[in-house]
Chain A
Amino acid sequence: MRELFNIIVFPGFIFLALFGFAAEYFDRRMHARLQNRKGPPWFQPVADFIKLISKEDLIPSDANAGMFRMAPIVALASTVTAFLYIPLWNGKALYSFNGDVIVVLYFLTIPTMAIFIGGWYSTSLFARLGSVRAITQLFAYEVPLFIGILSAALLADSWSLAGIVRFYNSHPLLFICNIPGFVVSLVALLGKLERVPFDIPEAETEIVAGAFTEYSGRLLAFFRMTLAIEMVVGASLLAAVFLPTVAVPGASGSAGTGLYPAAFIGFGVYLIEVFFIVALISLARTIFARLRLDQMVVFCWKFLAPLGIAQLLLNLYLKGLLTR
């Protein structure tokens, strides 16, 4: 019963969906205000979702219907699953084992693969171009993202996210050393979320909607929800690994449903951190133009990856200092 509640309500699907909507609203509103626009009302993401859900699903006659239907569901499921391993506020995730940081990164790669498969099997030229672009982009940002997050894990000497959080809780000032890694991972996350300046796979003025061109109705709603939730999950991951958490005394109870004030403070700090990262994402969306695919790949390999490796070397050196 407890597991069911955890998976479906908190911190599972329903919480994540609402959180995703809230983050999407925040992102859209902030983007609009930065652009001198008014922006949508608070219920707009929910309204969009309900509207899409109520529309007809159109599947192109040449498309592989099974793959076409499966892609958004797999994408959504893997994103939601990734969230179960991310510790929210008290250094404890719902499920945790040594090595779960790899699993989370792996789960976060699946949506991109699902977008590729969905786009590829919809047999539209625009969708195919978009999906090929999504995969090409994956090769560019995935390595810097891994290096960035794993170098923080290396310093913490733990391959579980909960362990990483506990380590940085006890050494709060070390997060300063990880700032280059944070920048690398944040930029890579922009690529993963297909946000400007890396929204190349869905560049509207070139290839219509990229891999989503043929999607409509419920399936499109799931894809959009996946992207909203992926933003929250990615932001939570970065917050857990890179941002300092408040060491909350007495919050050592079970994760998930504690109702004591310390947990509220911890949860509040967590929310602020996530919205801070979302704000950075929408800021990048506002101040940059979309790069070309070749420019993006060059940027990732020439600047992002070396910066990540520099972070790795720094952390190796620091680790030597700490363990001496």
Chain B
Amino acid sequence: MHESHKFKIPIGPQHPALKEPESFSVALKGEKILGVEIRLGYNHRGIEKACEERTYIQDIYLAERICGICSHSHSSCFIQCVEELAGLEVPKRGLFIRTLIGELERVHSHFLWLGVAGHEVGFDTLLMYTWRDRELVMDLLAGLTGNRVNYGMNTIGGVRRDVTKEQLRKIKETVDVLEERTMYYIKIATSEPTLINRLSGVGVLSREDTLSLDAVGPTARASGVSRDVRRDDPYAAYAELNFYVITDDHCDVYGRTIVRVKELLESFKIIREIVAKIPEGPIAVKAPRRIPAGEALSRYEAPRGEDMHYVKSNGSDKPERVKVRAPTLANVQAVKHMLKDRYLADLPIVIAAIDPCFSCTDRMVRLDRMDKGQSDVINWKQLHDYSLGWHREHGVDFSSLNERLKKAL
């Protein structure tokens, strides 16, 4: 089939396999992938810069909007930095509630991933089933926080809403139902032949490559790297909870599926433990408006892997610098490696297997041309002129209209 025929197809920035804009330019020979060029930068929102111009309280909500799925992770991670700078001791109950929301978020994120993975390999039934069950978690989160996503639960020094006994009972009931469903998905994932055929041996990332490419989260754990911030550097209430870090030795997409499904079971265990152990007391302490000068770095195990926030304070009510390293940025380099010598049909599931969140990852890229010593960055005025020039070339010219407008005024 066209042995001599090599061509490039664009997967993205707009493509049905991608939920967010990102460009994968795939060089193909027949069905075989020769190489992939990944290009970020289609969804840059300038959140880090925006954080510097807002107060810490406003920044919490901005950080929450870095990601639509792991929103609680980003706001918690940001807040941990600020609390460290301010030297705040968050009450136990507040930490437990924060952890509870974090685990519920992990559950809904992993269910979401399972559905997306099913869709990418053409197994829509899995998508329909998992997303139906995900609604149970979404309802819980809506009941606890008032929102399905972007919960607005965190505040500096604790959380904003308490949970009632009634709510805890409901969480327990729902978790029982979800655990039963998860067992069913484990059965499907380990026995359905077409699914196993599509997942195993695909997107292989060896343990050595994982370490050298610095993959994080389930992607790393599926390659046998036992790395989990919740255990290695406990934050919130994790130091008081018992759980295992799930690892797997398949090193492929199948392994990543197994890790995520088993992690769901661990999350249910953690949630049950939180419900049983949650102490009484206040949920937050009062936080100062101005944060003392200093810098802090915090880590958080988001559903997609290790999330990292860095905050530098200058003693005012606004941070001087905020830096976010979302888990996808650590994993996206591995994708190129995983796709080597695979088929085009594997591309969507391999990309999906790192559970990418491109808008979290996106950053501005500045190209410095080494040969000419010139930079490709253009300022607002240049962009404006370029746009006008482009339209003039294509026959759209408003300059005469502008002059007439000036005269009329």
Contact = CB atoms under 8 A, between A and B. Distances in A.
Interface of A: 34-37, 125-126, 129, 132-133, 136, 196-197, 199-200, 203-208, 286-295
B120 interface: yes
B198 A292 contact: yes
Contact of A129 (B118, B121, B126, B344): B344
A203 B345 contact: yes
15 contacts: A126-B9, A196-B122, A196-B123, A196-B124, A197-B122, A205-B16, A286-B125, A288-B194, A289-B126, A289-B192, A289-B195, A289-B198, A290-B123, A292-B198, A292-B346
- Secondary structure dominating the interface of A: helix
B121 A293 contact: no
A205 B343 contact: no
Given A126-B9, A289-B198, A291-B194, A205 B128 contact: no
Contact of A132 (B2, B197, B345): B2
A197 B343 CA distance: 17
Contacts of B346: 292
B173 interface: no
A205 B122 contact: yes
Interface of B: 1-2, 7, 9-10, 15-17, 28, 31, 118-126, 128-129, 132, 192, 194-195, 197-198, 343-348
Contacts of A132: 1-2
A295 B197 contact: yes
Contacts of B123: 196, 288-290
Contacts of B126: 289
Nearest to A202: B122
A294 B120 CA distance: 17
Contacts of A289: 118, 121-123, 126, 192, 194-195, 197-198
B128 A35 contact: yes
B1 A205 contact: no
- Secondary structure dominating the interface of B: helix
A205 B119 contact: yes
A136 B1 CA distance: 9
A221 B95 CA distance: 57
Contacts of A197: 122, 194
Contacts of A287: 125, 192
Identify the 3 closest CB pairs spanning chains A and B, nearest first. Answer: A290-B122, A289-B123, A205-B17
Contacts of B198: 289-292, 295
B115 to A, nearest CB: 11
Nearest to B195: A289
Given A200-B345, A205-B122, 14 more contacts: A133-B31, A196-B122, A196-B123, A196-B124, A197-B194, A204-B16, A205-B17, A206-B347, A289-B194, A290-B123, A290-B194, A291-B198, A292-B197, A293-B345
Contacts of B194: 197, 288-291
